[in-house]
Amino acid sequence: MSIARLQKEPLSNLPFYAERVDLACAFRWTARLNMHEAVANHFSLAVNDDGTRFLMNPNQVHFSRIKASDLLLIDANDPATLSGPNAPDPTAWGLHGAIHRNVPHARCVMHVHSIHATVLASLADSRLPPIDQNSATFFNRHVVDAHYGGLAFEEEGERCSQLLTDPKVKVMVMGNHGVLVIGDTAADTFNRMFYFERAAETYIKALWTGRPLRTLSDAIAEKTAAEANNYPGQAERHLAELKAILDEQEPAYRN
């Protein structure tokens, strides 16, 4: 990292400051991409070894305004979480709390109602077929929840968390609802969420043509997914570039 870059980064006593900055960037860029929905939707990032303590957006705050200092630090094992003065959104607690309790490899969780992923979630068959390079990267790596049970309060959150126990599965198409993406870091998860939305957009628009799809073979789709999973450094560079743009245009996200 250059000296100039280091000088841009303010000193902070906030706990987990670097993680907060990464997550704040992800919120703001998601809003720029119009993948958010009003003041709903939630991102979370684990900060302890077993994943049960995590950062999450405050209740009903627009993604485009979220700053590093705004993020709540939550304990997934604290049943009194919703009774505090700074309680998170109840559905955020129900969904993210359950995942961080039950799925330790889900270090970061991003849930949105982005347009094309939600269209996919509204189809009778919500699987994403490997029709291009982007969609092929999700081959055998996404699961469809076909049993939507209403808003993601605690019981629904517990049910959804059970669909993510396979570490290979990184995306849950939430039937009749939206999409949920997990990963190792904010960069890893945001990058995956971005590409899933792009892949869903390609698929939906290909369906619009009414013409036959050019679907990849299982062997090539699996090969592509494995190669993408092992591609070095792209997610980190993606988020780093977004932070560099925000540093120039709206540096308050770091505060």
Nearest-angstrom CA–CA distance, 167 and 120: 23
Q: What is the mean pLDDT of the chain?
A: 94
Radius of gyration of the chain (CA): 18
The verdict on pTM exceeding 0.75 is: yes
pLDDT band at 11 (very low <50, low <70, confident <90, very high): low
pLDDT band at 1 (very low <50, low <70, confident <90, very high): very low
pLDDT tens digits along 169-222:
999 999 999 999 999 999 999 999 999 999 999 999 999 999 999 999 999 999
1 located within any domain: no
25 located within any domain: yes
Nearest-angstrom CA–CA distance, 238 and 168: 22
Residue-range definition of the domain harbouring residue 221: 14-250
pLDDT band at 6 (very low <50, low <70, confident <90, very high): very low
Torsion over CA: 215, 220, 226, 228 (sign)? negative
- As a whole number, mean pLDDT of residues 157-173 equals 96
3 located within any domain: no
- Per this entry, what is the length of the chain? 255
Beta bridge partners of 172: 143, 180
pLDDT band at 101 (very low <50, low <70, confident <90, very high): very high
Residue type present at position 141: R
Buried b (16+ CB within 10 A) or exposed e, 203-224: beebeeeeeeeeebeeeebbeb
- Residue from 91, 151, 145, 104 nearest 121 by CA: 145
Stronger pLDDT, 86 or 200, i.e. the higher one: 200
| pLDDT given for residue 202 in this prediction | 98
3-state SS assignment for residue 118: helix
CATH value at residue 123: 3.40.225.10
Domain count, the chain: 1
How crowded is residue 112: how many other Cβ atoms within 10 Å of its Cβ? 24
Residue with tokens 């490997």: 130
Q: 36-40, 43-47, 83-87, 164-168: lowest mean pLDDT where?
A: 83-87
27 located within any domain: yes
- As a whole number, mean pLDDT of residues 134-151 equals 95
